[in-house]
Amino acid sequence: MEAPLLERSSGEVQLIGDDGDYLAPKGLGAWWRVFCVETAKLWRIGGPIGLQILCQYSVTSVSIAFAGHLGDVELSAFTIALSVVCTFSFGFMLGMGSALETLCGQAYGAGQVHMLGVYMQRSMIILFVTCIFVSPLYIFATPILKLVGQQDEIAYPAGVYTLMILPQLCSLAIVFPTQKFLQAQSKVSMLAWTGAIALISHCFMCWLFIYVFGWGATGLAVSIDITGWGTALAQLVYVVVWCKDGWKGLSWSAFQEIWSFLRLSLESAVMLCLEVWYIMSIIILTGHLDNAVTSVGSLSICMSIDAWQTMVFIGVNAAISVRVSNELGKGRPRAAKYSVYVTLFQSLLIGILCVVVILATRNKFSIIFTDSKPMQKAVAHLSPLLGITMLLNSIQPVISGVAIGGGWQGLVAYINLACYYIFGLPLGIILGYVAHLGVEGLWGGMIAGIALQTLLLLFVLYKTNWNKEVDQTTERMRKWGGQDINGSEKSFHGDKGGH
């Protein structure tokens, strides 16, 4: 259960009205108390989610590390399989599942907890169908890689490994919906434990299958599949057995309003994929520069550092999405607004700290990745751009989380398309190739796209009418099956009353 926002105490000004929403804080003391309450709420949700995402990211890193000890071909093939093919499908599946954050969070806030299970089943149906449409990318990975110019000695084993980890893709159709189901209710400690246990188990299985059973790269693929389905089944069992308020059994209602749900899912997927593909495109473009080896290597090191910060802010993204959707569902516009302000302020402070650390260690942090002096010098030269990127990436995920929590995915998708692909990417190509600024020009142009997107999203946030958002949330809950005229919802086991 959620703790009260703030209780009235002797000698203190009341900050919470009779409706449970914040009153307008007056004075620094009142603002400080709001800041402390919202900070506790944010990190109680975002901390465990960030840990889980970090563990999921580490499963890929561990797999690539084990592949590197098998040989150069295995390393290259597995890197392509996991970092290109799986990253593409992972981002698309995550985006499709993000629609559930909007609906589950708002339904939980509105007290319609029984609908969370229905929405979760609806999302599973859509994601399993999505797996069918994405699976040709896995099945025909070898000819696709050859088509884009990959050498046969890499394309063939990469295609084999990609096909072998197809079961892991299907596990995401359970992992993401159950994850969003639990996040909406702030039941996130289980997710953190599951992620940590999965990572430890994956490390053990990789060692067992490779060095004891002698399965080689096949053992890596089997371990990835087992880890994916182990996580999926653990979360599903927890939902079915220990979440009786939200899970009421299989329901025919999961098939209702599925087209509207699909549209929101596609908007979420497009919004997220436009961001993921934008970052991936700079690496591809850098590979065509004259000094490609040093450029790609130094850029990859910088992107690896940025990825660790991104893992933390994915947790923040999910946390603010839960906070906004919950408060909108409860009809508390000020609480939603203040949670956004507090999260933005803290994220900005973290981003500034990251910039200071990067600039202070610009000649040192690349030692973790390489012993090459020219590569270390190239990384140091790019470090100011890395710092700017990390600063922007501390703000952008917060606003994206607000968009998911409020159901603005379609608007953000259009903004991303305009800022990234109509403005940022062409500018980067012009600076990198026409102005001969190389990787600095490519990255600088793309940073300009991210900066423009951030400014536009901040403007949208500034102009947001939070009372209107509450009204739209209420309408969405009514339209999408929160409760029918008779106050009930139908299940496979017959009709049963709603809450």
The rounded distance, in Å, linking the Cα atoms of 140 and 145 is 9
What is the mean pLDDT of the segment spanning 332-342? 89
Which pTM does this prediction carry?
Answer: 0.78
Q: Is residue 313 predicted with pLDDT exceeding 60? A: yes
What value does the mean pLDDT of the chain take?
Answer: 84
Residue 319 identity:
A
Q: Which of 314, 319, 346 is nearest to 54 (CA)?
A: 314
Given a cut of 70, is residue 498 above it in pLDDT? no
- CB neighbour list of residue 322: distance below 8 Å, 6 or more residues apart: 45, 101, 105, 183, 184, 186, 405
Contact status, residue 446 vs residue 425, Cβ threshold 8 Å: yes
pLDDT for position 77: 82
Domain ranges of the chain: 48-256, 271-480
| Per-residue pLDDT tens over the stretch 22-42 | 777 777 888 888 888 889 888
For position 235, what pLDDT does the model report? 97
How sure is the predictor about 107, in pLDDT bands with cuts at 50, 70 and 90? confident
Q: How far apart are CA 16 and CA 259, in angstroms?
A: 39
pLDDT band for position 10 (50/70/90)? very low
Q: Provide the pLDDT for residue 8.
A: 42
Q: Give the rounded percent of residues in the chain with a pLDDT score beyond 70.
A: 90
Tell me the pLDDT band of 484, cut-offs 50, 70 and 90. very low
Report pLDDT digits (tens) over 182-221. Answer: 998 988 899 999 999 999 999 999 999 999 999 999 999 9
Instruction: Look at residue 491 and tell me whether its pLDDT is greater than 70.
Output: no
Q: Rounded distance, CA 223 to CA 202, Å?
A: 6
The 10s digit of each residue's pLDDT in 355-370 is: 999 999 999 888 877 7
Of the spans 175-184, 249-258, 287-296, which averages the highest pLDDT?
175-184
